[in-house]
Structure 1
Amino acid sequence: MAAEDGLDVGAEEGGKKGGKKKLIIIILAALLVLGGGGAAAYFFLFSGDDSEEVAEGEAAPEEMVQTSGPAIYLEFDQPFVVDFMVSGRQRYLQLNMTLKSRDQAQIDAVKIHMPLIRNSLVLLFSSQSFDELQSIDGKMALKAASVETINNILVQETGLGGIEDVLFTNFVMQ
């Protein structure tokens, strides 16, 4: 009987060890599942907010444009010449422009898309009223419209704006 008791004790100890191992494995598996679920929830909840902000506000691309640092200027090589018909007389506008930005990448993008930008600006300038352009308010409105036109093209082509100002370095009306 002692032999039987010894076998029974050994079997019980082996059974308990096997039970403890199974319990540890089950606990570890449960922790892994919970940890994986928590990581997945974190990923979906917090990465989803960024894409929603871009879709709703569309301000995230603008944040990627450099807005600090020294100003960088790009002078248009050729002047813009536009003709107007005013009271049966031929009138002309000639202006030279320089762009101001703080982002070299956007200045490079302007150089790449220069034909499209020049075309849009010529259309903008020729759609203006000659009489309105003689006032300071008309010139300031033309500057603002020029900045908007250029930034719209840059957003369309590169996804970012980045032109701060347009400087008229020569403005002749005759």
Structure 2
Amino acid sequence: MAQDEGLDVGAEDGKKGGKKKLIIILVVALLVLGGGGAAAFFLLMGGDDTEAAAQEETASAEMVQTDGPAIYLEIDQPFVVDFMISGKQRYLQLNMTLKSRDQAQIDAVKIHMPLIRNSLVLLFSSQSFDELQTVAGKQALKTASIAAINQILTQETGVGGIEDVLFTNFVMQ
């Protein structure tokens, strides 16, 4: 009988141990599922941050006014650049006016004018004198000038805003 009782006690311990194992497995499963759910939540929240950043970028791009009357800013001092062509010194004198529809960006151009002038002088002096004599060369210079100005404005203010560059005087000698 003692042996029979011993077997019964072992059987009861085995049943209790089985219940403990089942509880441990359930707890571990819940932790894994909970961890997976938390990870998914944080990853989805990270996606919202990306969407929020994209929305902020879109909002800042929308901050530049694209409709309304045109505002012009004449750059007072002409740009003068010299070229050395076949041993002869050649000059380019260029006056320009900027066009925008956003007064805030016109004000930003005024504030950052030294940086903009520097960038434009470097751009103009890097051009080919012969190419600037053609209409296509002048159009390419105009496009490059708009890009250079908007790049500086984007670096300094977060948005561009210059629509066009108008060459009001273009003398090559």
- Distance in 2, Cα, partners of 1:51 & 1:148: 27
Match of 2:39 in 1: none
Which runs of at least 4 in structure 1 moved beyond 6 Å after TM superposition?
none
1:15-164 aligned at under 5 Å gives the runs 48=49, 50-53=51-54, 58-164=57-163
Query: Which structure 2 residue ranges, 5 or more long, are not aligned?
Result: 1-44
- Determine the C-alpha separation between the residues in 2 that align with 1:130 and 1:86: 8
Counterpart secondary structure, 2:140:
helix
Q: CA deviation at 1:82?
A: 0.2
Q: Please report how far the alpha carbon of residue 144 of structure 1 lies from its aligned counterpart in structure 2 after TM superposition.
A: 0.2
Deviation per residue, 1:119-148 (Å, 9 max, x gap) = 000000000000000000000000000000
SS at match of 1:69: coil
CA distance in 2, matches of 1:95, 1:165: 15
Aligned-residue offset at 1:62: 2.0
Aligned to 1:38: none
3-state SS, counterpart of residue 118 of structure 1: helix
Residue-by-residue CA offset, 1:6-32 (whole Å, 9 max, x unaligned): xxxxxxxxxxxxxxxxxxxxxxxxxxx
| Deviation at residue 60 of structure 1 after TM alignment | 4.2
State, as a whole percentage, how many aligned pairs show the same letter: 77
RMSD: 2.3
Measured in 2, the distance between the counterparts of 1:87 and 1:119 equals 26
Amino acid at match of 2:102: D
Aligned residues: 131
Rounded to whole Å, the distance in 1 between the matches of 2:63 and 2:50 is 17
Could you say what secondary structure the match of 2:156 adopts?
helix
Unaligned runs of 5+ in 1: 1-43
TM-score (norm 1): 0.70
